[in-house]
Chains A and B, each alone.
Chain A
Amino acid sequence: LDFKKKVIKLSIDIILQQLLNGISLGLGYALIAMGLTLIFGIIDVVNFAHGEYYMIGAYGLYIGLTILKLGYLPSILFSLLFVAIITFIMYETVLKRVMNRDPINAMLATFALSTLFINIVNMLDSTPKSVPTPFQGVINFGNIIITKSNLVIIVVSLIITVLLKLLLDHTKIGKQIRATGQQKEASVLMGIKVNRIYLYTFLIGCVLAAIAGMVLGTTTNAYPAMGQFVIMKAFAVVIFGGMGNVFGAFLAAIILGISESFGQVFLPGSWAASIAFVVMVLVLLVKPQGILGKGVK
């Protein structure tokens, strides 16, 4: 009965509003998932610590703005640099050593890093921090409302996607990255320094996660387990889009965002959060290669 009432209430405005919310939600997921799927596609490692780079990105911005009292731009650069340094250290000390031995070990290492990062932040200060943002308030389009921070998510995500596409398709490093993903041995023979390309891939992926953390962190606060919360969604998106397929992930993220945003209208309680997993299960059953078919590395 409740359900029927809701269907009747659903007007065009609500549909458009949810569509817009869904797109901004989905583009947020896309930012996180593209880095994750890139790392998987090129290096064959599932980065379970990806959500923690997202968290560190948000904390980096918070530290830059409220503790170091830098401006917005320097704080963003500070956060990116911070994440890049951590990624570099993580790669050189741990991942480089385990990657070539057994893929399971690499997965476990990222899993251990994830626990490590969460608990270090938890130990230092576990209270949620609100990340300041210059983009406050809403914009009205007739009856449809969009918060400025959601608009920022949409704009940043689109810009980053285009930049990533340009980087992978038209630069020398991008070509080397794709070549390594396709055929590691052949790339070594062609003179590509595979280890360095792996490092670059990790850096790109983790910096993408950090950007997502900065953009989304302003809407959700920064807290230690924030990465755990989104990483599950990111995995669902990555599988939905085809593992290793960056633009499949982009598409999948938008579809998932829209379905979740409509799910919040129709489903009781916090069940909408499990739409992602139901979709993931269906994809695994019906088309494990993902929506775009074979992974285009």
Chain B
Amino acid sequence: MSKAPLKKWLILIIVVFLAILPVIFPDPYFKSVLVQFIIFLLFAMSFNILIGDLGIMSFGHAAFFGLGGYTAGILVNSGTPWWLALLIAGLICILGGIGLGLLSLRLKAIYFAITTLALAEILRVAALNLKSLTNGSRGLIVMDPFSSFSLDSSLMIYYIGFVLILVLFLIFINIKGSWLGRSFYAIRDSEDMAVSLGVNSYMTKNIGLIISTFFAGLSGGMYGFYYGVVMPDTLGIVYTTTGLVIVLIGGRGNILGPVLGTFIFVIVSELLRAAGSVRMIAFSVLLLVVIVLLPKGIISLFTKNTVKRKEVRKSNFSEVN
């Protein structure tokens, strides 16, 4: 308990440091890396709510990333202010999430996983075909919504993302001990047990999905603002894989996991920037190693319950044969 105030100070110092970071180092390359970090961190944190906190697997989370990107982009192009465009993008993603939830959250987890994959594919086909709205395979050009601002637009995006990530952190710190957080973890650890103890698993999963899709939509909208273009591939498997790699390498279910994961992801992808396939090979090998040897991600090396995890693994191994 005596450690708590120290931890608070440390967190405050880190937050302030990150807030002034792009001002201290105004190098454009460094700034672009930071913005990339913020956008993917927000996306990965929203993904982590599903795979980490609720234990439900999605293979189409990029559907919401891309949907947010397209919605915000189309709105900004028609003259909507950036904050309204982002908000509407988030709300549209929530609608999509509710539809997805109604359809497949009552069923076994595997159906949900495959449905998400299909949803992403349907949206990708739609983005390719609805040319009047999305400009088809050439991608939607998004106008810079911050051009009339005195602040540099990449800085604006950095701070918007920064605030959103803080909000997501606060949400999670606050619901962790509440009924909602405990229902999340109960469902993740054993859905049957959770249901038998009176947790409304369908509703809880839907709430998780709504929070997750909202922030995924926001991160997609910011992606569109920053890069100025949203392609149909933004809805596809590459971005889902990116999210998965970040969350799993960092550590799913841990709030700091995605932070570590995004850090590793951004560094590796900057190092291997030139070689597209080699980069993906590196990530998939890293992913395989992590899944086989460290199922809770690299962050679990730094947390305390390592012994417990080993025991669990041993008992699971002896169960078979």
Contact = CB atoms under 8 A, between A and B. Distances in A.
Interface of A: 40, 46, 48, 94, 97-98, 100-105, 107-109, 111-113, 115-116, 118-120, 122-123, 126, 188, 193-195, 228, 232, 235-236, 239, 243, 269-271, 273-274, 277, 280-281, 284-285, 288
Interface of B: 51, 55, 57, 59, 103-104, 107, 109-111, 113-115, 117-118, 121-122, 125-126, 128-129, 237, 241, 244, 248, 275-278, 280-281, 283-285, 287-288, 291-292, 295, 313, 316-317, 319-321
Contact of A123 (B278, B292, B319): B278
Given A98-B292, A277-B118, A284-B107, A120 B281 contact: yes
19 contacts: A94-B288, A98-B292, A103-B109, A107-B57, A108-B291, A109-B288, A112-B287, A116-B284, A119-B278, A120-B281, A193-B321, A195-B320, A243-B111, A270-B128, A270-B129, A274-B126, A280-B114, A284-B104, A284-B107
Given A107-B113, A271-B129, A281-B118, A100 B295 contact: no
A236 B117 CA distance: 10
B292 A94 contact: yes
Those 10 A-B pairs whose CB atoms lie nearest each other, nearest first: A123-B277, A116-B284, A119-B280, A112-B287, A115-B284, A119-B277, A122-B277, A277-B118, A112-B284, A119-B281
Contact of A270 (B113, B114, B125, B287): B125
Given A111-B244, A116-B281, A281 B103 contact: yes
A94 B292 CA distance: 7
B111 A239 contact: yes
A273 B287 CA distance: 31
Contacts of A48: 59
B110 A243 contact: yes
Nearest to B102: A285
Interface of A is mostly: helix
A119 B285 CA distance: 11
A98 B291 contact: yes
Nearest to A196: B321
B288 A112 contact: yes
B321 A188 contact: yes
Contacts of A113: 284, 288
A109 B285 CA distance: 10
A1 B248 CA distance: 52
Given A119-B284, A281-B118, A269 B129 contact: yes
B241 A194 contact: no
